[in-house]
Amino acid sequence: MSKLLIVGTVAFDAIETPFGKTDKILGGAGTYIGLSASNFDVESAVVSVVGEDFPQEYLDLLTRNNINIDGIEIVEGGKTFFWSGRYHNDLNTRDTLDTQLNVLADFNPKVPDTFKDAEYVMLGNLHPLVQLSVLEQVENPKLVVLDTMNFWMDNTLEDLKKVIARVDVITINDEEARQLSGEHSLVKAARIIANMGPKYIVIKKGEHGALLFHQEQIFFAPALPLEEVFDPTGAGDTFAGGFIGYLARTNDVSFENMKSAIIYGSNLASFCVEKFGTERMESLDRSEVNERLNEFRKLTQYETKMN
């Protein structure tokens, strides 16, 4: 069985959408990636940091989903990273209301000894130097996937470029791809980003799906058209967790197999947005996932009568 090492925040979120608001609930990229990847039978571990205020029940939730938490440091007397945001009516944009780094400010990631030989590494959205430190602790991974965002492009671009140079796959959204490359056309943007290092570029377009670029090949996976998006928080991380979880489970990093991985990631993300926070991901069962995979297939697969 492949080992999957994940680094990412395990945190508190407080979310407002047009449909309601939450108090402090479980959030963080590491959490969403881990829960998403747990839908595949892989041995996974999350490397992160929390404060003394972090409830044991949240840690138990991860453990119950077969996620190794030996790499989650609990800082005595420390407070857990907290993010609060409010989504606009279209749910495509949001304002950050509050960010409290707390224990994340001095996070020094420690990869558990049992995961230094992980074949699959998911660098969730975090400071590039933290991502780099994790990369330096793993021995010889088969595939490294990087997720990042515009914040790091604005503030720590040189460090970010060092990480980008060392990963196999990068996942970013369309606006971030444009920012990073300076090109409006996503085809051109992907080519420029590929020159920075990654052999595979995944550009996430939210409700408009995701594109996978490799050399001159392109694959596109739609998002499932939903009647209602309730809360988009964690959708990108869930997508990434499904992507790498599927690759780790099938242990095949070919472009052909990455096509399916993108579909699996989109599929899991479509569940994530149906309820607040991690709620929907916690209750997900295998038959629902398979049923919706079938919907994805019907959404894009076709036969032609003439050519």
Report in angstroms how near the CB of residue 227 gets to a copy of itself at its nearest.
5
From 16, 252, 274, 279, residue interacting with a copy of itself (rule: CB under 8 A): 252
Mask of contacts with a copy of itself, 274-293, x by CB under 8 A?
----------------x--x
- Residue 228 lies near a copy of itself (rule: CB under 8 A): yes
- Residue 215 lies near a copy of itself (rule: CB under 8 A): no
Tokens matching residue 187: 């085809």
Report in angstroms how near the CB of residue 211 gets to a copy of itself at its nearest.
6
> Which residue's CB is nearer to a copy of itself, number 129 or number 192?
192
Q: Is 11 in contact with 125 (CB distance < 8 Å)?
A: no
From 23, 57, 158, 256, residue interacting with a copy of itself (rule: CB under 8 A): 256
Q: What are phi and psi of 192, to 5 degrees?
A: -70, -40
> Which residue's CB is nearer to a copy of itself, number 129 or number 299?
299
Q: Is 51 in contact with 75 (CB distance < 8 Å)?
A: yes
Q: Is 165 in contact with 197 (CB distance < 8 Å)?
A: yes
User: How far is the C-alpha of 225 from the C-alpha of 209, rounded, in Å?
Assistant: 10
If 0-12 CB within 10 Å is exposed, 13-18 middle and 19+ buried, where does residue 290 land?
exposed
Q: How many residues are given for the chain?
A: 307
User: Coil, helix or strand for 260?
Assistant: helix
Report in angstroms how near the CB of residue 289 gets to a copy of itself at its nearest.
10
User: Coil, helix or strand for 44?
Assistant: strand
Which residue in 28, 27, 38, 36 sits closest to 7, CA to CA? 28
- Residue 307 lies near a copy of itself (rule: CB under 8 A): yes
Report in angstroms how near the CB of residue 239 gets to a copy of itself at its nearest.
16
Report in angstroms how near the CB of residue 287 gets to a copy of itself at its nearest.
11
User: How far is the C-alpha of 179 from the C-alpha of 170, rounded, in Å?
Assistant: 14
> Which residue's CB is nearer to a copy of itself, number 45 or number 263?
263
User: How far is the C-alpha of 117 from the C-alpha of 138, rounded, in Å?
Assistant: 6
User: Coil, helix or strand for 224?
Assistant: coil
- Residue 226 lies near a copy of itself (rule: CB under 8 A): yes
Q: Is 168 in contact with 192 (CB distance < 8 Å)?
A: no
- Residue 1 lies near a copy of itself (rule: CB under 8 A): no
- Residue 179 lies near a copy of itself (rule: CB under 8 A): no
Q: What are phi and psi of 91, to 5 degrees?
A: 65, 5
Which residue in 22, 266, 244, 9 sits closest to 143, CA to CA? 244
From 56, 108, 287, 304, residue interacting with a copy of itself (rule: CB under 8 A): 304
- Residue 218 lies near a copy of itself (rule: CB under 8 A): yes
Report in angstroms how near the CB of residue 290 gets to a copy of itself at its nearest.
6
Which amino acid does the sequence have at 292?
R
Segment near a copy of itself (CB under 8 A), from 27-35, 65-73, 127-135, 223-231? 223-231
Report in angstroms how near the CB of residue 139 gets to a copy of itself at its nearest.
26
Note the residues at the interface with a copy of itself (CB under 8 A). Answer: 89-90, 184-188, 205, 208-209, 211, 217-222, 225-228, 246, 249-250, 252, 256-257, 259-260, 263, 290, 293, 298-307
